[in-house]
Amino acid sequence: MKALKILYYIFIAFIGLIAVLLIISIFPITGNFKVMIVQSGSMQPEIKMGSIVAIKPVDDYRIGDVITFQIAKNKEPITHRIHDIKVVGGEPRYITKGDANNAPDQREVSQREIIGKVLFNIPYLGYVIDFAQKPIGFSLIIIIPALVIIFDEAKKIYAEVKKRKAKKAE
């Protein structure tokens, strides 16, 4: 019984973590942390496909930093490592490269295109967040925990009613 209770609390904590990450990924706060899902294998083995990355803008980017940038508003963000830095007209231009790629990216990245530096990544959690962003996934994340909580409370009510009936019978 105690093991079941521990599993219950682990399950609730996991659902809470997913909810927080889902909220952060949907409503990022400008200038703060953002959570994004890596959708390609270009950074393997360091960052696996389906991982989530936590990123934060910083003032200074260096060679070796892993950054997330977006070239155009309608394009998906890209997470690659800074391979080299050039200064053009007093502005830094970053040459990036995916760890799994043979050559650096063709296009240079400007400072304004950088969303932030990758602070850490959690492998495969992106698949769960991506699923939770879909209507069926969101429904399951709400319905399953609600059913578990309702079942647990109904069990407690049933035990209490049974205990009171036993007391009245005495």
Q: What is the pLDDT of residue 167?
A: 82
Q: Say if CB 113 and CB 94 are below 8 A apart.
A: no
Confidence label for 1 from pLDDT (cuts 50, 70 and 90): low
pLDDT at 32: 73
Q: What is the pLDDT of residue 138?
A: 76
CA 12 to chain centre: 17
At residue 3 the predicted structure's pLDDT band, cuts being 50, 70 and 90, is confident
Across 7-22, average pLDDT: 75
Question: What pLDDT sits at residue 22?
Answer: 67
pLDDT at residue 132 greater than cutoff 90: no
Instruction: Look over the chain and give the mean of its residue pLDDT values, rounded to a whole number.
Output: 84
pLDDT in tens, 91-117: 999 999 999 999 999 999 988 899 889
Structurally, what CATH architecture does the domain formed by 31-123 represent? Ribbon (2.10)
Which are the contacts of 82, defined by CB distance < 8 A and separation ≥ 6?
61, 62, 63, 64, 65, 66, 67, 94, 95, 96
Q: Which of 96, 126, 89 is nearest to 113 (CA)?
A: 96
Provide mean pLDDT across the span 132-151: 80
Give the DSSP per-residue string, 122-137. ETTHHHHHHHHTSHHH
CA dihedral angle for residue 8, residue 53, residue 43, residue 86, rounded to 10 degrees: -170
The helix/strand/coil state of 144 is: helix
Beta strands (DSSP E) in the chain are 34-37, 52-56, 66-69, 78-88, 91-97, 109-110, 114-122
Amino acid 31: pLDDT: 59
Closest by alpha carbon to 40, among 27, 53, 30?
A: 53
Residues 70-84: tens digit of each pLDDT = 887 778 889 999 999
Picking from 57, 66, 59, 53, the residue whose alpha carbon sits closest to that of residue 24 is 53
Q: Which amino acid is at 97?
A: K
The pTM for the full model equals 0.68
Which has the closest alpha carbon to 18: 35, 40, 31?
35
Residue range 19-34, pLDDT digits in tens: 777 666 666 565 577 8
For a pLDDT cut of 90, what percent of the chain falls above it?
26
**Domain segments of the chain: what residues?**
1-29+125-160, 31-123
